[in-house]
Amino acid sequence: MVNPGWADLDRGLFSISVAAELAGLHPQTLRVYEREGLLDPVRSAGGTRRYSRRDIDRLHQICALTADGLNLVGIRRVLQLQAETRQLQAEVARLRELLGTEPPAPGAR
């Protein structure tokens, strides 16, 4: 049986050294990303950074955007736009549910 804490994508499970290794980065890079607002790991009661599975996924996304040539300001903007898009999509889905309408078929206008 899988530990129920593992299913929680936002639960801080990994130390900075483990998170850095999983992402293929140096721990100092994770500190820079946090300082730049790209990452916000939870803190233990003692103040230690704890990275979640979602944080690791975000690190992989940041690495991909860096590899595409974006700087940290550009990456921050892309991540903000993605979050806004998810929020708007959820709002549209909620409104469609309230109205009882189906989304249009792909390619339909």
Share of the chain above pLDDT 90, in %: 76
> Distance of CA 56 to CAs 12, 22, 60, Å?
10, 7, 6
CA proximity to 48, closest of 13, 93, 79: 13
Q: What is the pLDDT of residue 107?
A: 72
Q: What would the two tokens of residue 83 be?
A: 């979050």
pLDDT digits (tens, 9 = 90+) for 29-82: 999 999 999 999 999 899 999 999 999 999 999 999 999 999 999 999 999 999
Please report, as a single letter, which amino acid is at residue 88.
L
Domains of the chain: residue spans and CATH: 4-97 (1.10.1660.10)
Helices (H), the chain: 4-7, 16-23, 27-35, 53-67, 72-99
What confidence score (pLDDT) does residue 79 get?
95
Mean pLDDT of the chain: 90
pTM, full prediction:
0.78
Q: Is the per-residue pLDDT at 109 higher than 80? A: no
